[in-house]
Structure 1
């Protein structure tokens, strides 16, 4: 997973040592369910679609407080691997983070909070979903 995150231009700071909520599963469930309404949609046919996915993810991640002042945040490795602490770099492109099926799939959260922001592929669009995960 660290290789994939580095290939997306992120500086990998290591596995998150936090055992706090939301877990990766809670975050994924919050951004990928039938009730989710995206904050932004990017058509799969859009010009420069990957650049637009990255741009919109950064906009919403900043708006919701995902990204700390030093550019760091947590990104989901997998349900089993948990969260990885990463930092944005000038080379970062969130659209290069892909799921096991080859689709764009980035789920991130604030290191010290319950805010999550995801970029994910849907049938006709890519969705940016930013929200605060409720306590369970």
Structure 2
């Protein structure tokens, strides 16, 4: 993806779930650092964070309800708190510049509120960072 930035100057927005699904072996924090470097110093970079769907999917076919396994490239209803905390801690430990995180979850605002509660409970040291 960096070739797009090199040719056009367009800033890159890391999508964590898509990077995990479609990467060629590049570690997540390396991909994050590369994307952050495409943003001018005076602008706050943005990234997208979502957790993969783990719930069964219900499909109605000819009046019958069928349960299907989840697809790992689909967004979950909520954000997995431990996965999110690990990501944040890794970014901070790597000394990366601050960035905004746009959460992608089917439960929308409820997912944000729930994640804030979980961070306060499981990672109080990060509660101030997540505003």
TM class by shorter-chain length? under 0.3
Which has a greater percent of helix?
2
Normalising to structure 2: TM-score of the pair? 0.24
Larger RCO of the pair (alpha carbons < 8 Å, separation 6+): 1
Normalising to structure 1: TM-score of the pair? 0.23
